[in-house]
């Protein structure tokens, strides 16, 4: 599972203090005392085999590194130069990562984020850095993902959490595709020209332009995500899309009643169309009444609920983690990220980090340990680790 990591650090081809302002960044591995799932030595061997022999795909993550001082996060984002957590990824066991950058916090030219110029800057800067090393490669096809696994590399799939930056220009989707984007959400929090996000109390569903954009994404081969879309916009997107869609990072509203979670009928509609649900782990999302203190157990309770509801062939994992203090980032960008709307008024205990699934370096090791410990078969584990996602990509992507 170890990748061919040479020790590269982001932007080491430039001169700190001359070409860019340096920040002191967090540790990428064991930043906090997050617990490892306890398994027997025999079970651990099985975990290692399963992750070695099968594709491990994160359907949604942010593999960027946050400054050690949370007060510097605004300045860090305004500089428009995000560090990628290569060291953490090298020990993660992940073979492919759908990285949605940090476009909700892209504040280079504005305070609100989601501006076209900032999104292109964000994408180009990350890909420029990736082009200067060999462990992480740009992936645009399913063959790229399988080849990365075989070569001890990690496939990086750029995506957007919302199509807000295209404004009313559908051809911008073609531009994004040409720049490597292979997955996009519809709306994030506020309504946009396509439809409504989770912040809106009156969800009118997909607009006529939104329907045009969905059809264009189908034609291009951009996978569609409705994780942050309002309920009616989500249902309309599933109906209008000629291809299966993803809900890349979400949980079940039946277990935790907030807008950020999806109700059963939307989860079922997605699966009925052939789509896949990725289970979310960002702080204070996949809570349950049994586990109001967010941790791996509450996260996996959402997984089991979804698997029982729609079938294990329609479930995967989109942990939505990053390298750094995720809770502090939520506080800093509460408005942009619709934190109040996402968390609702439900009573929960704020955590410093999500124990057992704190960042990309550990998440899939503990997910696989949990699945092994709870008696899941090799076939089911292979399906949820990556093959369910690959099945949808084989239909959605143009090659």
pLDDT (tens digit per residue) in 106-147: 889 988 889 999 999 999 999 999 999 999 999 999 999 999
The number of helix segments (H) and strand segments (E) in the chain equals 15, 11
Token pair listed for 374: 């709870």
User: Which pLDDT value is given to residue 348?
Assistant: 73
In whole angstroms, what is the distance from residue 80 CA to residue 271 CA?
Answer: 37
User: Which pLDDT value is given to residue 223?
Assistant: 98
User: Which pLDDT value is given to residue 38?
Assistant: 98
pLDDT tops 90 at residue 165: yes
Per residue in 203-254, pLDDT tens? Answer: 999 999 999 999 999 999 999 999 999 999 999 999 999 999 999 999 999 9
Contact 26, 325 (CB under 8 A): yes
Contact 354, 320 (CB under 8 A): no
What is the mean predicted confidence (pLDDT) over 52-69?
Answer: 97
pLDDT band at 346 (very low <50, low <70, confident <90, very high): low
What is the mean predicted confidence (pLDDT) over 356-372?
Answer: 98
Token pair listed for 93: 């066991």
What is the mean predicted confidence (pLDDT) over 355-373?
Answer: 98
pLDDT tops 70 at residue 54: yes
396: enclosing H helix or E strand: helix 388-396
CA 162 to chain centre: 12
Name the H helices within 80-187.
Answer: 86-90, 116-130, 142-150, 172-178
Contact 182, 140 (CB under 8 A): yes
pLDDT tops 90 at residue 350: no
Per residue in 13-43, pLDDT tens? Answer: 999 999 999 999 999 999 999 999 999 999 9
pLDDT band at 82 (very low <50, low <70, confident <90, very high): very high
What is the mean predicted confidence (pLDDT) over 145-163?
Answer: 97
User: Which pLDDT value is given to residue 189?
Assistant: 87
User: Which pLDDT value is given to residue 2?
Assistant: 75
User: Which pLDDT value is given to residue 105?
Assistant: 84
Quickly count: other Cβ atoms within 10 Å of residue 179's Cβ: 13
In sequence order, what E strands does the chain have? 57-61, 64-65, 83-84, 96-99, 136-138, 154-160, 183-185, 223-225, 246-250, 276-279, 315-317
Stated pTM of the model: 0.96
Residue 298, SS3 per DSSP: helix
Across all residues in the chain, what is the average pLDDT?
Answer: 94
Map tokens 């949604």 to a residue.
60
User: Which pLDDT value is given to residue 398?
Assistant: 82
Q: Which residues contact 375 (CB under 8 A, 6 or more apart)?
A: none
Per residue in 248-304, pLDDT tens? Answer: 999 999 999 999 999 999 999 999 999 999 999 999 999 999 988 999 999 999 999
User: Which pLDDT value is given to residue 336?
Assistant: 57
CA 129 to chain centre: 20
Domains and CATH numbers, the chain: 41-396 (3.20.20.140)
User: Which pLDDT value is given to residue 164?
Assistant: 97
Which of the two residues, 77 and 224, has the higher pLDDT score? 224
User: Which pLDDT value is given to residue 341?
Assistant: 56
Q: What φ, ψ does residue 183 adopt, rounded to 5°?
A: -155, 140
Map tokens 């085999």 to a residue.
49
Which of the two residues, 351 and 340, has the higher pLDDT score? 351
User: Which pLDDT value is given to residue 102?
Assistant: 83
Measuring CA to CA, which residue among 96, 57, 61, 49 is closest to residue 276? 57
């Amino acid at each position: 599972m170890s990748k061919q990591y040479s020790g590269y650090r982001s932007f080491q081809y430039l001169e700190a203090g001359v070409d860019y302002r340096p920040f002191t960044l967090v540790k990428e591995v064991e930043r906090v005392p997050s617990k490892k799932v306890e398994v027997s030595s025999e079970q651990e061997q099985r975990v290692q085999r399963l992750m070695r022999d099968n594709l491990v795909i994160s359907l949604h993550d942010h593999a960027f590194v946050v400054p050690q001082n949370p007060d510097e996060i605004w300045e860090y984002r305004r500089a428009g130069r995000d560090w990628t957590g290569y060291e953490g990824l090298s020990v993660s066991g992940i073979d492919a990562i759908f990285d949605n950058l940090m476009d909700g916090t892209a504040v280079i030219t504005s305070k609100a984020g989601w501006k076209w110029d900032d999104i292109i800057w964000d994408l180009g800067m990350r890909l420029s850095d990736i082009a200067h090393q060999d462990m992480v490669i740009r992936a645009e096809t399913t063959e790229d993902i399988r080849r990365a696994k075989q070569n001890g590399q990690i496939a990086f799939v750029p995506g957007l959490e919302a199509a807000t930056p295209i404004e009313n220009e559908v051809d911008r989707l073609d531009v994004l595709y040409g720049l490597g984007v292979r997955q996009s959400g519809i709306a994030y929090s506020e309504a946009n020209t396509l439809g409504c996000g989770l912040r809106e109390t009156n969800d009118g569903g997909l607009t006529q332009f939104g329907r045009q954009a969905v059809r264009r994404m189908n034609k291009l081969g951009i996978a569609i995500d409705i994780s942050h879309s309002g309920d009616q916009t989500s249902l309309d997107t599933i109906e209008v899309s000629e291809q299966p869609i993803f809900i890349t990072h979400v949980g079940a509203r039946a277990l935790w009643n907030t807008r950020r979670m999806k109700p059963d009928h939307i989860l079922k509609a997605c699966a009925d169309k052939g789509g896949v649900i990725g289970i979310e782990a960002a702080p204070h999302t996949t809570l349950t009444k049994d586990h109001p203190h967010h941790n791996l157990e509450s996260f996996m309770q959402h997984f089991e609920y979804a698997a029982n509801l729609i079938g294990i062939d329609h479930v995967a994992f989109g942990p939505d983690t990053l390298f750094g203090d995720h809770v502090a980032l939520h506080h800093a960008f509460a408005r942009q990220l619709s934190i109040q709307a996402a968390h609702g008024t439900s009573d929960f205990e704020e955590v410093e980090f999500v124990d057992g699934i704190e960042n990309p370096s550990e998440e899939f090791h503990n997910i696989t340990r949990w699945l092994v410990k709870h008696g899941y078969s090799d076939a089911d584990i292979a399906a949820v680790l990556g093959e369910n996602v690959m099945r949808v990509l084989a239909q959605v992507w143009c090659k």
